[in-house]
Amino acid sequence: MITTNDLKNGYVLDIDGDLVSVVSFQHVKPGKGGAFVRTKLKNLTTGATVDRTFRAGEKVERVTTESRTMQFLYRDGDDLILMDNSTYEQIPVTAALVDNDDLLAPNTDVQVLFVRDAPIKIELPTFVELTVARTDPGVKGDTVSNVTKPAELETGATVDVPLFVNEGDRLRIDTRTREYSARA
């Protein structure tokens, strides 16, 4: 248990049985009345963000988290099969725990956040390198700046790429924005 005066961004708390992450907090001391802590909390299971106010010094339960590097092996229906890089143990994890799971190629290392020995969040690396499986050829003479075309990647994801990209090219894709970054 910690007090609300000890909160820090990123702490995971157990509030009313829900696991929430502290997005931001502000300690407020009004001229009249008691001090309080205004927080913005993100529910780790639903992804919803809520504002909540606590009295200063109120006790909350902090949950210890563990981040492990794991390797994505393959898909099994709606599950992703991950392997722990240190113990080689394989675990199935639901694909709903990762954003942009269609950018996930086999043998990619990901960060898995565990709370109470259960995975609750999977973070992709900032950039992934994927091969273009299918795209239309660029039209010669169409050289207006920032013209893009859709390209289907080896994982099935579709991203917009510049006209000079061809099938078979390896691309560097930003997983946060799903945008083309460079040729690899």
pLDDT for the residue numbered 117: 85
Domain C-terminal end among 78, 108, 123 = 123
**pLDDT surpassing 80 at residue 154:** yes
Residues 41 and 94 in one domain: no
Q: Which of 22-26, 66-70, 134-138 has the lowest mean pLDDT?
A: 134-138
pLDDT for the residue numbered 72: 94
Residues 56 and 72 in one domain: no
**How large is the average pLDDT for residues 11-24?**
90
- What CATH number is attached to the domain comprising 27? 2.30.30.30
> For 86-121, how does the pLDDT look when each residue is reduced to its tens digit (9 = 90+)?
899 999 998 888 888 889 999 999 999 888 888 888
Instruction: Tell me which residue range forms the domain holding 7.
Output: 2-63
Residues 70 and 52 in one domain: no
Q: What residues contact residue 140 under an 8 Å CB cut-off, 6+ apart?
A: none
Residues 59 and 72 in one domain: no
The model carries a pTM of 0.74
Residues 92 and 102 in one domain: yes
Domain C-terminal end among 123, 157, 172 = 123
**How large is the average pLDDT for residues 152-160?**
91
What is the number of structural domains in the chain?
Answer: 3
